[in-house]
Structure 1
Amino acid sequence: MGSTQLCKPPCGRQGHRSVYLKSQHKIVIFGGYAGYHLDDFFVYDIKENMWSLMEECHDDGNSNRLSPREVFSMVLNEQRQSIVFFGGKDEDYRYNDMHEFSLVTKKWYRLHQGGPRKKIDSPKKTTVPKETLLNIPSPRSSHSCIMIEKLQQMVMFGGYDGDDWLNDCWIFDFTLNKWTKVNLFTKHLSENSLKIFQHGFSSHVAVFDDIRSEMLAFGGWTGEMDINAMWTITFPTLNELEFQSKLGNIIDRNQLSDISIITFSSS
C-alpha cells in the first residue's frame, strides 16, 4: 500500500464502515460518528498490530473525496483494486452519491453525482424527483451492499430515507457504470415475513455467498421493532429449471431458523 503514516488508534465511534484486504491482511476503516461526523481513513495491519492513516493523493484537491458521514455502505472491488462508497448521512442530509477510492493511485473518484440530497428533520415529508428514482437509488442510510466479483456488480438492499424504511433492491454494474432496479419476487414468504418485507427495514447486515450465488441479510430495524429474520436473495441462473431446483434446496435447508426466500430478476 505504499508509504504509511503511523498513528494512534481511531477514536471511539459508531456508524463507521470497514473492508478487509485479504491479500494484505489489513482492515480499512472510514468515517462514522463520534459526537460529530467523521471522514478519517485508517488502515489496521493485523500482522503488525499497528494503525496508520490511509495514504491519499491530493493532486486534484480531493474534490471527489467522500464527505464526513455515517451509516453509509462500503465494499471492496478486488478486480478494480478499489473501495466503493454509497449514501449515508450527516447532520443535515442523507445522500445517494457514489465514490470510489483507488488502492493503486490513492485517488478518489466520483462514480455518479447523486440526485438531490434529502434534508434531515424536514418539517414535511420530502420527495425525490421521479426522474432521479428511475436512474439511481434514492438518498438513504443504514442500507446494505455486497459485491459480486465475478459479475462486477454491487447489490444494494433496503435502508432508511428519513421518512420510510425501504425494501428496494438495486444493482450497480461497474462495467456499464449504471444502476438497475430489480424486481423482488416474494411468493415464498410467510404472511409474517411478507408483512415485514413490505414495510421495509434498515440497519441489517448482509454478505454474499459466492458458492451458492446468494445474498444473505440478517436482522434490522423497522422503526417499531428489531427483527431476527434471515433473508436470502437468490440470483437467477440462465436455466429456469436449475433456478427452481435451487429454490427447492434452499427451502429444504434446516440449518437456519426463520429463513425467508426472496428472488429477483431485472426490471
Structure 2
Amino acid sequence: MHDPERFGAAGPAAPTAVAAGGTSTPRRLHHHDQQAYVWSRVHVNPSYSGVPGEAAQSLVPPPRSGAASVVVQDKLYVFGGYGGGTGRLDDFYAFDFRTCSWEEVQVLSEEKPGCRENNGVVVLSARDQSIILFGGYNGHRWLNDLWKFDIATQRWTCLEESTPDMVNEEDETNAAGMGMPQQVVNASTTSQRPSCRFGYVSVVYDNKLVLWGGFDGQRWLNDMYVYDFGSSLWSQVQQFGTLPSIRSCPASAAEGKYLYIQGGYDGLERKEDFFVCSLDTYTWTQMPNLGRTPSPRYFHSCVMHSNKLFMYGGYSGSQRLGDMFAYDFETNHWSEVDCSSGDSPGGRSSLIAQVHENNLYIFAGYNGQTVLNDMYKCRLRPIGIPSPSLLNDFRRLINDPETADVCFLVEGREVHAHKAILAARSQYFRAMLFNGHMRESSNNSLVEIRDVSHPVFCKVLEYLYTDTVCDATLEVGIHLMVASELFMLDRLKSICEDLIRGEISTENVISILVASHQHNALGLKEIALDFILQHLSDAKIQCGLTELKSEPDLLIEILKLSSLQPVTPFTRRLGNATQHQVPSPGTEQQPSQAQQVRLFNAHPAPQEQQPLWRVDWR
C-alpha cells in the first residue's frame, strides 16, 4: 500500500507574540490523580436497530484514515476517509458517548456528498445543529463543493457544487501515492470562491465558515476564505499580523474567537511552529514555542480543554508518532504528557481526536502498515472544576436591597450594604455598626455618611466586597484616596496611589502633590516631587508652583530639593521669593510676636473633627 501521508491532509477538527523556536527548561506534565492521563481502549457495545426480532450487532465503522469528524452534543459524527484497499469512503457514522455504541447515520435525502478523504466537517451552531462539509480529495480530483447535513431532518443539502479545478488521471490508492508536481508557491487567485483543496483548516465563527490553507494538487496554500451563511456568499479575507507560511495538514483547534494551528507540511519540510488567529479581525500571532516542544510533524491532531491545547500523534516523515503534548496558555509552555500508563493508542497519523466531557477520544488512523478502526480514550483531568466565582458573587451583593441589612444615606441617595461584610473588612465600620445603641437601631435607620460623595462611597464598598477597584478615573482616585484615609483602609490607599501615579502629568501634578501631602500619602508625594523636579522648566509646573501659597512648606521642600540640581532662572526666582522663610544653618531664631500672629492666621488651629456619619432617626 502506498504511503497515505506523503503530501499532507486535513487534521481533525486573548497571546503574547515572541519569536518561535526557542526552548527553555524541559517540562513533563505529570499526573497527581492516578486516573488522569491514563489511556484505555474503548470497548464498543452492540447497538440495536429497533426492529423487533433483530439481534444487537456491532457496527464499528470499517478502518479508515483521514476521515472528517465533529462532536455534536453527546455524539461523535465521522464521515468518509481513506479505507486502504477499499479506496475513498462516503459512509457516515455516529458514536454515542452515553451508550458507547456506533450506528450508521440514516440519510433520508437522495443527494449526499461523494467519496473523499482529508476534508473537514464543522457544526454550524448550537442552535442550528447542522454539519458543514467542504472539499477534500476523491482519488481523481480535488474538490471545493459545500454541503450541509441537518441532524434533525437527516438530510444533506448541496450548497455549492465542485468546480473542475484539478483532475488527476493517475490515481492508484490515495492522494499521497501519486506523482503530483512538487510546486511550492503561495496561492493567488482573483476568485472569491476557494479553490479545490484538501488538508485545510476549517472553523465556524459568527455564522461564517472560515477556511485556511491546504493543498490543491499543485500548490500549498495559506489563503483564507469566509462563507457567510446569511448571504450564501464566499469572500476572500485580507489577513493581518504574522501569517503562517504555506502548508497543508496542520493540527488545528478553535475556542471562542481564536483559531490555533500547529505544524503542517509545505512540500519541502515539516513544521513545528504555532500560531493563533483572532477571527474577529483575522489577525495572526505567532505563539511562544517554549518548554518541551513537539518535534516537526503533520497529520497530527489537537484539541482544546481546560485552557490547554492537547496534541497527539502525527507523521515525522520517517515514523508515525505516539507522543502527546500539552500547551498551557497561562505559562505559554509546552509539556510532554506522561501517558505511558494503561493501554495507549500507539503511533499513528491521520487520526480522529475529539474531546467529550473530561476525556480525549482517538479513533482510527494509519500506523505505517495498517489502516485502523480502534478507539481509545484518555482522561484529561479527574474533575472539571469551574472557574472561581467568589469575586463576582460578592460584587453582585453591592447595593443589593434584597439581601442588605444596613442602609447608608450619601448625598441624599440610599446605598445598601451588609453589616457582617463591612465589619469583617473594616475596623471603622465595625465600630460604627456594632457600638452601643447603633447595634440595635441601625436595622431600621439610615446611617448618613458625610464628606464623601456617592460615587466615591460606592467605590469604597466595591473595594470592601471585592478587594479591587475597577474603572476608576483620576478624579475619583484622588477622592477615593482621601476616603481611604478617613475609613482607615491602608490597602485601598495604596491602590489609589498606584492609580494616581499612572496618571501624573504636568497639568495635574501640583494638585496630586497637595492631595498626597494633606493625606499623608508619602509614596505618592515622593513620586509627585520627583516628577516636578524633572519638569521644573515646564511653564505649567512654574504656574502651578506660584499658586502654592496655601502650602508654603511644600514650596520650601521643593526649593531644598531643587538646590541639588543645576540652577535655572526659575529656581533662582523661587529661591529669592522664599529666602526669608529659610534661616541659615545655626541662625534659627524664635519668631517675634507679630510673626506668631501672622503664622497663626495663616495656619489656624484645627477645629474638633466631626464624625463622618450619624444616625438619621427618620
TM interval, shorter chain, is: 0.7 to 0.9
Deviates more, 1:176-185 or 1:36-45: 176-185
| Larger relative strand fraction | 1
Letter in 2 for 1:157: W
Determine if the alignment matches structure 1 residue 158 to structure 2 residue 158: no
1:262 paired residue number: none
Q: Summarize deviations over 1:97-133 as a string: whole Å, max 9, x none.
A: 001111011111011123224112689979xxxxx85
The separation in 1 between residues aligned to 2:255 and 2:95, in whole angstroms, is 25
Aligned counterparts of 2:134 and 2:50: Cα–Cα separation in 1: 26
TM-score (norm 1): 0.75
Q: Count how many residue pairs are aligned between Structure 1 and Structure 2.
A: 225
Residue among 23, 26, 30 paired with 2:75: 26
CA, structure 1 residues 113+10, in 2 after alignment: closer, same or farther (shift >3 Å)? same
2:105 to 54, 69, 72: 54
> Is the Cα–Cα contact under 8 Å of residues 4 and 55 in structure 1 kept in the other structure?
no
Q: Which runs of 5+ in 1 are unaligned?
A: 127-131, 238-242, 258-267
Using the alignment, how far apart are the partners of 1:96 and 1:110 within structure 2? 11
Output the CA distance in 2 between the equivalents of 1:73 and 1:134: 22
Whether 2:153 is the aligned partner of 1:98: answer no
Residue from 138, 149, 158 that aligns with 2:195: 138
Report how far residue 215 of structure 1 moved: 1.1
Q: Distance in 1 between matches of 2:50 and 2:71?
A: 17
Which of 260, 274, 279 is the aligned partner of 1:230? 274
Structure 2 residue runs without a partner (length 5+): 1-48, 52-56, 171-178, 184-188, 289-328, 335-618
Write out per-residue CA displacement over residues 41-77 of structure 1, whole angstroms, 9 at most, x where no aligned residue.
001011111110102114xxx23x1000000110011
Cα distance in 1, alignment partners of residues 143 and 211 from structure 2: 14
Listed one character per residue, the Cα deviations across residues 133-171 of structure 1 (whole Å, up to 9, x for unaligned) are: 5231000001010111xx111111000011110000011
The offset of 1:233, in angstroms, is 1.1
| Aligned match of 1:83 | 131
* Native 8 Å contact 2:59 2:104 kept in 1: no
Is residue 272 of structure 2 the alignment partner of residue 221 of structure 1? no
Residues of 2 paired with 1:177 and 1:157: CA distance? 18
| Aligned residues of 1:101 and 1:109 also touching (Cα < 8 A) | yes
For the pair 1:66 / 2:117, whether they are aligned, the reply is: no
> How far apart are 1:256 and its partner, in Å?
4.3
What is the aligned-residue RMSD (CA, Å)? 3.2
In the superposition, the TM-score normalised over structure 2's length comes to: 0.34
Residues 4, 54 of structure 1: 8 Å contact kept: no
Rounded to whole Å, the distance in 2 between the matches of 1:4 and 1:134 is: 49
- Per-residue CA deviations over 1:192-241 (Å, capped at 9, x if unaligned) read xx6xx34x10001222221xx2211111111122111111111346xxxx
In structure 2, what is the Cα distance between the partners aligned to 1:208 and 1:184?
17
Report the secondary structure of 2:226's partner residue.
strand
> In 2, Cα distance between the equivalents of 1:136 and 1:10?
33
Contact 2:180 2:217 in 1 (8 A): no
Partner of 1:104, secondary structure, is coil
Contact 1:7 1:53 in 2 (8 A): no
Shift of 1:14: 0.4
Change (3 A) 1:55 1:166: same
Q: How does 1:146-225 map to 2 (within 5 A)?
A: 146-148=203-205, 151-186=206-241, 189=242, 197-198=244-245, 200-210=246-256, 213-225=257-269
Write the letter of the residue equivalent to 1:98: L
1:129 matched residue in structure 2? none
Structure holding more helix per residue: 2
Give the ranges of 4+ consecutive aligned residues of structure 1 lying more than 4 Å apart after TM superposition: 3-7, 121-126
